[in-house]
Structure 1
Amino acid sequence: MKTVIYFVRHAHSTYTPEELTRPLSEKGMRDARRMTRILESENLDHVVSSPFLRAVQTVEGTAASLNQDVILIDGFRERLLSSEPLDDFQGAIRKVWEEPSFHWEGGESNMDAQKRGVSAMLELLKEYEGKSVAVGTHGNIMVLIMNHFDPRYGLAFWESLDMPDVYRLTFDGVDLVEVLRLWEPRSEGGERP
């Protein structure tokens, strides 16, 4: 039985050091409305999300169109890279991808974050078998989960993601059988790049 998961990477957010309550920016809110229109044509059954506000805000319009609340699932929250700010974010991300068991001070290794995310994903596939579910989430944890099911999804794929972005993943049981990107980026002027 096929289950379809729509991984929705959150839209652009206004930076604050508080991860849980960081909101979408004005551009992020516009993109979230566009994301809602894309997902409305996909015959969704349920909408779940990371508890982080920016992920919830990206998919709450989709849930509203289904007359549902967003179901919060902690396992889809973004990986904690470090408990302290890092000077070279890109270099820090590269390091954890090169050494999956390595973690920065107070942070999660790729292995630990992936284990958490995959556990949430397997529960989702079990609970919503045969359904279509949108998952509001974050770039790093999304790619770590996808990497578990297909190692082609790694650092280079993460670097290619847009904010927001959406990928439709089709599963047969727990086997990933197809991945299709649905988001088409536009320039600020509304034209496609």
Structure 2
Amino acid sequence: MILTNVCLVRHAHSVYTTDELDRGLSKQGFKDAEKVSDLLSGLDADAIISSPYNRAIQTVQGIAKKNKKAIIINEDLRERLLSPEKTADFNRLIHKVWENPSFYVEGGESNEVAQRRGIAAFQTVLSNFHGGNIVIGTHGNIMTLIMNYFDAQYDFKFWQTLSMPNIYQLTFDQDQLINVHRIWGDREQS
């Protein structure tokens, strides 16, 4: 049995702006990104991959530096687009997309569409780095949708418990998920 370990790292806290691509980490986010690097320092990472969003990249930069690896940017690991416009009632909309996986607002992504995009990227990573240790810097919704594909217990309620940052290690035998281990996270620890 050749195992592949993937550490999904939800980005650390960022200062909210409408600029999804360039929004960076907050002061606390940078401190927490150092903790992420420390927690994963014993991992001999074969690849560090990230969403193109700055806050995800900044969260895994330290571990990339410690492993002397360049960060590979994967556009399809970006956060799901809930709506192209700022929504007046985020909570109502996020509940609705999780209640009805095919629901979307014009210009946004349904859970089904975002999950297909995330899983396609994730399966490519599993294939390209079979038997390796991979770190992926990503986002709460797309991370949950990826995990949900393999195990339905990772759902809206799970997403609500995620802190910034959060780290889950998923272990695969080929493309079969065999173990999930929380390395760091939940609201009480952040």
Question: With structure 1 as the length reference, what TM-score do the two structures score?
Answer: 0.94
Q: Find the residue that maps to 2:43 and give its secondary structure.
A: coil
CA distance in 1, matches of 2:114, 2:142: 7
Measured after TM superposition, the shift of residue 184 of structure 1 is 4.7
Q: Compared with structure 1, are the counterparts of its residues 23 and 2 closer, same or farther at alpha carbon in structure 2 (3 Å cutoff)?
A: same
Q: Compared with structure 1, are the counterparts of its residues 185 and 115 closer, same or farther at alpha carbon in structure 2 (3 Å cutoff)?
A: closer
Q: For each residue in 1:122-178, what CA deviation from the matched residue of structure 2 results, as whole angstroms up to 9, or x when unmatched? A: 100000000000000000000001111111110000001010000000011111110
CA distance in 2, matches of 1:5, 1:18: 28
Partner residue of 1:30?
Answer: 31
CA distance in 2, matches of 1:92, 1:43: 40
Whether the 8 Å contact between 2:164 and 2:185 is mirrored in structure 1 is no
Partner residue of 1:81?
Answer: 82
RMSD value, Cα = 1.4
Measured after TM superposition, the shift of residue 42 of structure 1 is 2.3
Which 5+ residue runs of structure 1 have no aligned equivalent? Answer: none
CA distance in 2, matches of 1:67, 1:178: 27
Question: With structure 2 as the length reference, what TM-score do the two structures score?
Answer: 0.96
- Percent identical pairs in the alignment equals 47
Q: For each residue in 1:55-107, what CA deviation from the matched residue of structure 2 results, as whole angstroms up to 9, or x when unmatched? A: 00000110011111110011110000001111221221110011111101210
Measured after TM superposition, the shift of residue 182 of structure 1 is 0.6
Measured after TM superposition, the shift of residue 41 of structure 1 is 1.7
2:29 pairs with 1:20: no
Count of aligned positions: 189
CA distance in 1, matches of 2:187, 2:34: 14
Whether the 8 Å contact between 2:161 and 2:186 is mirrored in structure 1 is no
Q: Aligned AA for 1:12?
A: H
Alignment of 1:133-152 (within 5 A): 133-152=134-153
Q: Find the residue that maps to 1:42 and give its secondary structure.
A: coil
Q: Aligned AA for 1:66?
A: N
2:158 pairs with 1:124: no
CA distance in 2, matches of 1:184, 1:54: 17
Partner residue of 1:57?
Answer: 58
Q: Compared with structure 1, are the counterparts of its residues 186 and 113 closer, same or farther at alpha carbon in structure 2 (3 Å cutoff)?
A: closer
Q: Aligned AA for 1:15?
A: Y
Q: Aligned AA for 1:126?
A: S
